[in-house]
Amino acid sequence: MKKFFKSIVVGASLVIPGVCSATTSIILGVYEDMLAVFSNLFRFSKLKKYFVICLGLMIGLILGVSVIKILYDKIPFISNMVFFGVIISLFPYRIKQKRHINKIYILLFLLLAFH
């Protein structure tokens, strides 16, 4: 039952801009199960074993899309700024991860972000 709820969270993180669903699944401890689901996607005999996780992913995906659609309909500017803030907050981590970042990438990102 815990894996079901964790897979709902991972499914919802699939649609949130700037949030990596792989990182979410690692944090929640279901990364290996997600790998097994996607590696056995067309083997229906093995997919029965992971039915609960697949169902949770689909429910999370539908809920995530619904919530984001409601947020964009009701408060579009605030929604954009929240997602933009999440993406910007990841920059220091990415800069530490890659020793050299081309300044053209930062310029292109800023141009596209404020388009």
Which has the higher per-residue pLDDT, 96 or 23?
23
CA distances (Å), origin 96, targets 23, 91, 101, 104, 108: 17, 9, 10, 17, 20
Distance, CA of 110 to CA of 115 (rounded, Å): 8
pLDDT value of position 63: 92
Q: Which two tokens stand for residue 108?
A: 């292109």
Which has the higher per-residue pLDDT, 103 or 82?
82
- Among all chains, which residue has been given the structure tokens 């579009």? 76
Q: Which two tokens stand for residue 67?
A: 């919530």
Does residue 43 have a pLDDT over 80? Answer: no
Instruction: Determine phi and psi for 60, rounding to 5 degrees.
Output: -60, -40
Q: Which two tokens stand for residue 51?
A: 């039915």
With pLDDT > 70 as the criterion, what percentage of the chain qualifies? 77
